[in-house]
Structure 1
Amino acid sequence: MQKTFTYPKFTYERPPEIAEGRPGHYPVIVIGAGPVGLTTAIDLAQQGQDVLLLDDDDTVSIGSRGVCYAKRTLEVLDRIGCDNRFVDKGVSWDVGRTFFGEGEVFNFNLRPQDRHLRPGMINLQQYYLEEFLVQRSDELPQLHKRFKSKVTAVAPGAERVTLQVETPDGPYTLTTDWLVVADGARSPVRTMLGLDIDGKVFMDRFLIADVVMKADFPAERWFWFDPPFHPNQSVLLHKQADNVWRIDFQLGWQADPVEEKKPENVIPRIKAMLAAQGGSEREFELEWVSVYTFQCRRMNRFTHGRVLFVGDAAHQVSPFGARGANSGIQDADNLSWKLKLVMAGQAPATLLDSYHEERSYAADENLLNSTRSTDFITPKSATSKTFRNAVLSLAGKYPFARALVNSGRLSVPSWLADSRLNTPDSDGFAGDMIPGAPLLDAPVQVAGQPTWLLHQLGNRFQLLYYTDDASQIDAATLDGLAALNRLPIGIEAVVVAPRGQAGAGLKTLTDAEGCVRERYDLAPGSTYLLRPDQHVAARWRGFDAARAQAALARATCNA
């Protein structure tokens, strides 16, 4: 049925363990070459770590599946070296509209603040996301991939994890110091280990139809409650790459999934929707059709000794809000730098406990928002539906009602304000960049060339130091900033100033527009310690090397 995409066939090669008749060993093995597994493996490999990635298939995911990728996810992909290929191919959008019946009752803008590089969201079929990530992985010699390699047994140990792998050439054995599990919502590894996953399955079904058509609808998210073309149910419309449109139709729990997927049942629904938008004669072709139920649940712990769970293997949410893949990629972003430090002997294994703490907090936040969205979209009682419809009726006129409309609170990065890795503020600051906050982007210049703040940050600990003139920093401060890079876990000092260049070989970012100063509430001497995953670890109104080292120790569990 595919009209617009040719599925790649990744090469299978006979594993050397079979030829040599002995087990192989890798420091890190990642299971699952979906978006989260690929991101994790790429992140580790670009930091210099040898990684083996295993997947039981030899192509990308079938059908568009995940569609919406949030600004924070795009910034993570930038950080792991994926350049512009996602945004160039995807459909960028910021505006979402919600309709009740025939009228619009609510709209929102995901990017109310200007001067950011990335849009609030892009829509891109998951097969493209995976293909582009595989292309990036091919650029990293320390990342080794094996397709058609199905993990059939996992045996955790105190020092190593042993895996049995089945291939077209037969089985073989691998061992690893650390196993990252990214094998999806049904997670065979989770089942092999008998680990729990608790939550709620929602008693409703939705039809996904990917439709190829040329339409003049704007690149916005449209969500209908009880439209005339699909009464008493909801419909969602998104534009994707290649003139592919994603349409979700609520079906109800009693719907027969097999019957609903048949073209003779799908096509009339689409024609009715197009007719309501004035396009009854518009031609279209079906590309991919699926029926899904959804659930909100997570594991009690994401870390089990040397076995670490990420993405859907650890937590699942309903699709409303685009919190699945976005949250999983942020799992990878959180885990990789911590695992690298532990493997290098620069941080204790307890640092990995903070991965569970921070990302289970994020998962709970996603589960709460996703459950609330699902309850609003699919009310399970007459009273709930009456309340929902009353809110929608009032939302067109009254701001208080608009705040109650919930057609899917869209993915946002987690603010890790309560993380034990943060150093609490001892000085007064205004604005949002508190310890635990994800960094805001801003335009800057390097050696007179325009660039972006987040393109200059990440992948290591850094100290952001602000002054009015970088060329006037006194020698003692320059020496203190430069010395931070000679610590066992080096901190790169980055000077931000509206003018001048710092000495001592320090990187200087020119804040010609004052955007960094405003967003980070900077004054001369203001200093931020930044984590490798572009979160704030600590901040002060003056530079003090001892305080920076203490905050680094806290952020790496070395305190």
Structure 2
Amino acid sequence: MHIDYQSLRFEYRRSPDQSAAQLAHHPVVVVGAGPVGLATAIDLAQSGLRVLLLDDDRCLSNGSRAICFAKRTLEIFDRLGCGDRMVEKGVTWNLGRVFHRDDPVYSFNLLPEGGHRRPAFINLQQYYVEGFLLDRAGALPEIEIRWNNKVAALGPREDGVELTVETPEGEYRILAEYVVAADGARSPIRKAMGLESKGRSFRDRFLIADVRMKADFPAERWFWFDPPFHPNQSVLLHSQPDNIWRIDFQLGWDADPEEERKPERVIPRVRALLGKDAAFELEWVSVYTFSCLRMARFRHGRVIFAGDAAHGVSPFGARGANSGIQDAENIAWKLALVLRGEAPETLLDSYDSERVAAADENILNSTRSTDFITPKNESSRAFRDAVLDLAKDCAFARRLVNSGRLSLPSTYCGSPLNTLDADRFEGLMVPGAPALDAPLRDGDWLLRRLGGGFTLLHFGAASPVMPESETALRVVNITPEDDAEGLAATRYDARPGTTYLIRPDQHVCARWRRFDPEAVRAALRRATGRG
């Protein structure tokens, strides 16, 4: 059944909290029902926590907005129970092509090896992502969503955060033990707390045109530098579901945003790319300016900022929404442990340190991409064009071409939750790294086996026995027969007896060449902030 998620309107409903004699108490209040807020609420609810989700609107996002969702994000969606719907609806792609003027420069494959359940990327309009997450949230009785409920003020108390909420029927107040602010780039909560996001804005503007048409372009990422149909600027083309294509046109800083949104300005640009006889309709148009910025800290007492409320990057590289979903998975398991009394409140400080470092990495890559795409003087442009000319024949120059370094999962190498290696390992699965998937026997997959709690991943003929611990710990044993293609052992540099401790967000936090229950217990305490 097809649902037009853009046309959905949600009714305001009066809640019992509005007439309660005393302040209603909620363990967690999530503010903002975008992808990050919904993912946070679902993750918390799957841990058994009650979650109140407040949104000041009564609809999902308008227009495609974020469209590129990376393999790591899809794996998180799998754990949240809606990955299959995302992939089935989305346009799968692994390949990208770069052009300079009329000439192909080179192509690249973001997932050159097999043995992964999910592709490098799918393209899927943000309103579908929000809609599928909303459907999943609706299936979880622990989540209550209140539309047309705007947080107007908040203040700290010893036992939590007091929120003043505006509705069509007036204000009411509630008490939250913790608040997750996922209320977007303009974040009213950030403003109400007198906090800022600081960084750099770039003197350039880009036009997004979502075009409905039937075209023969492959499902790939195509990027042009200085094409003849849009000289001295850059253009990006992406396929989306429902025969919609995303086209980004660089406009320059002097462009008038209001004028450039008008169909009489947009249509000639699209025709120049597609040809004068091309049949198409404009689906959605927007003009934006690049900014790379973040808050100094993402945790302020019992208020935690996530997604665009905490950090922002330019769109090339698809680092915004993907990073926000990683924020959600990072904070959810930590809040769950703290609220259940299984970890000290100081565990939440690791959210700040891990995700601030991730934001800095994204901002660095996004800034470099923007500087390459939009050179600010003649010498920068001459360097860029020379690199593009060399890249046709020279592999070393291709590493310098930057049409947007595409989103990669964060590796928390410096996290205080990690236990340093005592044994020698090779490969990518260092403490702090996101766990890699691998095919198992009978069509199963490793990440699906790991699930969403603390997991002991053991390679060997016999499963280890773990004495009781303060924190629940699952054991997943992978035998040679399970590892049908041998890829799990290869990716984890595993021998018989190799053991990994995996966090609830499926990041490695410790590894050993042999199972040692005391070492596991110590690493588990460290990973829960009690070490």
TM-score (normalizing by structure 2): 0.98
Letter in 1 for 2:525: A
Distance 1:269 1:4 in 2: 29
Residue 327 in 1 paired to residue 323 in 2?
yes
Match of 1:507 in 2: none
Residue 340 in 1 paired to residue 336 in 2?
yes
Structure 1 residue 317, shift from structure 2 partner = 0.3
Does the 8 Å CA contact 2:36/2:324 hold for their aligned counterparts? yes
The DSSP-based 3-state class of the residue aligned with 1:202 is strand
Does the 8 Å CA contact 2:74/2:83 hold for their aligned counterparts? no
Match of 1:307 in 2: 303
Does the 8 Å CA contact 1:4/1:242 hold for their aligned counterparts? no
Structure 1 residue 17, shift from structure 2 partner = 2.1
Residue 497 in 1 paired to residue 497 in 2?
no
Match of 1:120 in 2: 120
Match of 2:205 in 1: 205
Residue 460 in 1 paired to residue 453 in 2?
yes
Structure 1 residue 196, shift from structure 2 partner = 2.3
Match of 2:486 in 1: 514
Match of 1:557 in 2: 529
Structure 1 residue 22, shift from structure 2 partner = 4.3
Distance 1:246 1:83 in 2: 23
Match of 1:444 in 2: 440
Letter in 1 for 2:359: A
Does the 8 Å CA contact 1:158/1:305 hold for their aligned counterparts? no
Structure 1 residue 490, shift from structure 2 partner = 1.5
Distance 1:121 1:208 in 2: 20
* Residues 190-226 of structure 1: CA deviation (Å, up to 9, x unaligned): 0000012110011110000000001010000000000
Distance 2:125 2:40 in 1: 20
Distance 1:62 1:97 in 2: 29
Letter in 2 for 1:335: I
Match of 1:318 in 2: 314
Does the 8 Å CA contact 2:152/2:166 hold for their aligned counterparts? yes
30-39 vs 429-438, which moves further: 429-438
The DSSP-based 3-state class of the residue aligned with 1:350 is helix
Structure 1 residue 20, shift from structure 2 partner = 3.6
Match of 1:283 in 2: 279
Question: Percent same amino acid at aligned positions?
Answer: 60
Structure 1 residue 51, shift from structure 2 partner = 0.4
Residue 257 in 1 paired to residue 257 in 2?
yes
Structure 1 residue 24, shift from structure 2 partner = 1.8
Match of 1:29 in 2: 29
Distance 2:523 2:20 in 1: 48
Aligned residues: 529
* Residues 250-284 of structure 1: CA deviation (Å, up to 9, x unaligned): 00010001110100110000000012xxxx42210
406-415 vs 108-117, which moves further: 108-117
Letter in 1 for 2:448: H
Letter in 2 for 1:294: F
Residue 396 in 1 paired to residue 378 in 2?
no
Distance 2:300 2:158 in 1: 11
Distance 2:344 2:358 in 1: 23
Match of 2:103 in 1: 103
The DSSP-based 3-state class of the residue aligned with 2:405 is coil
304-313 vs 156-165, which moves further: 156-165
Match of 1:186 in 2: 186
Q: Structure 1 residues 116, 52: closer, same or farther in 2, change over 3 A? A: same
Distance 2:196 2:268 in 1: 42
The DSSP-based 3-state class of the residue aligned with 2:242 is helix
Distance 1:223 1:515 in 2: 33
- Structure 1 residue runs of 5 or longer lacking an equivalent are 500-509
Structure 1 residue 5, shift from structure 2 partner = 6.0
* Residues 83-142 of structure 1: CA deviation (Å, up to 9, x unaligned): 400000010000011100001112211101211000000000000000000000001000
- For the aligned residue pairs, the C-alpha RMSD in angstroms reads 1.3
Does the 8 Å CA contact 1:55/1:149 hold for their aligned counterparts? yes
Distance 1:253 1:319 in 2: 17
Does the 8 Å CA contact 2:6/2:61 hold for their aligned counterparts? no
Distance 1:456 1:462 in 2: 10
* Residues 411-439 of structure 1: CA deviation (Å, up to 9, x unaligned): 00011111111111111111111111111
Distance 1:390 1:117 in 2: 39
Letter in 1 for 2:185: A
Distance 2:374 2:62 in 1: 27
Does the 8 Å CA contact 1:237/1:245 hold for their aligned counterparts? yes
Match of 1:368 in 2: 364
Does the 8 Å CA contact 1:29/1:178 hold for their aligned counterparts? yes
The DSSP-based 3-state class of the residue aligned with 1:308 is strand
Q: Structure 1 residues 176, 158: closer, same or farther in 2, change over 3 A? A: same
5 Å-filtered alignment, 1:144-155, equals 144-155=144-155
Distance 2:140 2:118 in 1: 25
Letter in 2 for 1:368: L
Match of 1:384 in 2: 380
Structure 1 residue 381, shift from structure 2 partner = 1.3
TM-score (normalizing by structure 1): 0.93
Letter in 1 for 2:430: I
Distance 1:36 1:376 in 2: 29
Structure 1 residue 23, shift from structure 2 partner = 2.9
310-319 vs 426-435, which moves further: 426-435
- Structure 2 residue runs of 5 or longer lacking an equivalent are none
Distance 2:253 2:338 in 1: 47
Does the 8 Å CA contact 1:498/1:513 hold for their aligned counterparts? no
Match of 2:169 in 1: 169
Structure 1 residue 81, shift from structure 2 partner = 1.2
